[in-house]
A and B are shown apart, each in its own frame.
Chain A
Amino acid sequence: MRQVVNASGVDEWVDGLYLQLRALARSERRRSGAPDTLHTTALVNELYLKLADAERLRFGEARQFFSYAAKAMRHILLDRAKLQMRLKREDPRLRVALTDPDVETLTIDPAQALELDAALDALLLRDPRAAEVVDLHFFAGLGLDQVAALLGVAPRTVARDWRFASAFLKARLT
Chain B
Amino acid sequence: MSAASLGLRECFDQLIDLTPPQREAWLAAHVLDAELRQELLAMLAADLDDAPLLATSAAALAQQYTPPHEDGAGLVGSCIGPYRLTEVLGQGGTSVVFRAQRASGAGMQTVALKLLRTGLFSAEGQRRFRREQGVLAQLSHPHISGLIEGGISDAGIPYIAMEFVDGLPITEYATARALGLRARLQLLVTVCRAIDSAHRTLVVHRDLKPSNVLVNTAGDIKVLDFGIARLLDDDDHHATQTNAISLTPGYAAPEQYLPGPVTTATDIYALGILMGELLTGQLLRRGHGHANLSRACAGAAAAPAGMPAGVALTRLLRGDLDAIYDTANAPDPGRRYLSAALLADDLERYLHNQPVTARTPSAWYRLRKSMQRNRTASTAAMLALFAIVLGVSLALWQAHVAREQAQRATAVRDFLIELFDASKAGQLPDQRLTLDQLVQRAGKRLQTQTDLSVATRVELLRTLGEVRMAGSDYIQAGQFYDQALHLAQTFYAPSDTAVTQIRLLQASLLIHQSRYADASTAYAALLPQMRKDNNAASVDGLQNYASALMYSARTEQALAISAEAAQHAAALYGAGSMGAVQADLVRGNLLVGSGRHADAAQLLESALQTWRSSGRAPTQDFLQGLTDLSRVRQTLGESAAAESLLRETLATAERIYDAPHDRIALALLNLGDALSLQARLDEAEPVLVRALAMMRAVYGDGHLRVANTLSSLGKLELRRRDLAAATQHIRAAVQWCERPDLHATRSCTDIFANQADLALATGDLAQADASSTRALAMAQEIFPQGHHWMAYLWQLRAELSLRRNDAAAALALCDQARELLLRLDKQHGTTAEMVLARRASALTALGRPAEALVDIHRALAMWQQLAPAGYLHQIELLDVLASIQTRLGDGRAARDTARRAVALVKDRSWVEPALLARIDALAESGR
Contacts and interface: CB of A to CB of B under 8 A. Distances in A.
Interface in A8-50: 11, 15, 18-20, 23-24, 26-33, 35-36, 38-39, 41-42, 45-46, 48-49
Interface in A78-109: 78, 80-81, 83-84, 87, 94, 96-99, 101-103, 106-108
Contacts of A20: 59
B176 interface: no
* Among B44, B64, B115, B122, residue most surrounded by chain A Cβ atoms (within 10 Å): B64
B54 A163 contact: no
Given A38-B685, A53-B287, A97-B117, A138 B155 contact: no
Contact of B68 (A96, A102, A163): A102
Contact of B74 (A96, A99, A160): A99
B686 interface: yes
Q: How large is the interface on A (under 10, 10 to 19, 20 to 34, 35 or more residues)?
A: 35 or more
Interface in B214-262: 234-235, 238, 241, 244-245, 249-250, 254, 257-259
A112 B52 CA distance: 11
B57 interface: yes
A76 B62 contact: yes
A164 B54 CA distance: 13
B62 A73 contact: yes
A155 interface: no
Interface stretch (B298-306, B643-651, B722-730): B722-730
B728 A116 contact: no
A78 B724 CA distance: 8
B926 interface: no
B118 A117 contact: no
Nearest to B41: A171
Nearest to A64: B701
B16 interface: yes
Given A54-B289, A83-B65, A99-B74, A173 B244 contact: no
A38 B238 contact: yes
B257 A49 contact: yes
Contact of A97 (B118, B728, B909): B118
A138 B722 CA distance: 23
A173 B53 contact: yes
A83 B259 CA distance: 25
B94 A30 contact: yes
A116 to B, nearest CB: 6
A171 B720 CA distance: 30
Contacts of A126: 8-9
Contact of B43 (A30, A121, A171): A171
Contact of A27 (B58, B67, B241, B725): B67
B118 A113 contact: no
A146 interface: no
A112 B53 contact: yes
B119 A96 contact: yes
A45 B180 CA distance: 38
A71 to B, nearest CB: 8
Contacts of B47: 163, 166-167, 170
Contacts of A99: 70, 74
Q: How large is the interface on B (under 10, 10 to 19, 20 to 34, 35 or more residues)?
A: 35 or more
A87 B9 contact: no
A98 B53 CA distance: 30
A75 B728 contact: yes
Nearest to A125: B767
B65 A81 contact: yes
Contacts of A55: 287, 289, 375
Contact of A80 (B65, B75, B693): B65
A74 B731 CA distance: 15
Interface in A55-71: 55, 70-71
B66 A108 contact: no
Contacts of A76: 62
B238 A42 contact: no
Interface in B78-130: 93-94, 96, 115, 117-119, 121-122, 125
Given A27-B66, A77-B61, A96-B118, A45 B257 contact: yes
Contacts of B49: 170
Contacts of A171: 39, 42-43, 45-46
Contacts of A29: 245
A169 B51 CA distance: 10
Contacts of A18: 249
A80 B62 contact: yes
B520 to A, nearest CB: 36
B54 A80 contact: no
Interface in B144-161: 155-157
B28 to A, nearest CB: 21
Interface string B700-719: 00000000000000000100
A52 interface: yes
A39 B61 contact: no
Given A99-B70, A138-B54, A163-B16, A42 B241 contact: yes
B238 A26 contact: no
Given A42-B259, A138-B54, A30 B117 contact: yes
Nearest to B125: A32
A32 B67 contact: no
Interface in B365-403: 375
A34 to B, nearest CB: 9
A75 B16 contact: no
Given A78-B724, A139-B58, A170-B47, 10 more contacts: A30-B117, A38-B241, A48-B249, A52-B287, A80-B66, A83-B65, A83-B67, A96-B119, A102-B67, A167-B47
The 8 closest A-B pairs by CB, nearest first: A101-B67, A96-B119, A80-B65, A170-B46, A171-B42, A98-B70, A167-B43, A171-B46
14 contacts: A27-B66, A36-B724, A38-B689, A39-B689, A39-B725, A54-B287, A75-B728, A94-B121, A98-B115, A99-B70, A138-B54, A138-B57, A170-B49, A171-B43
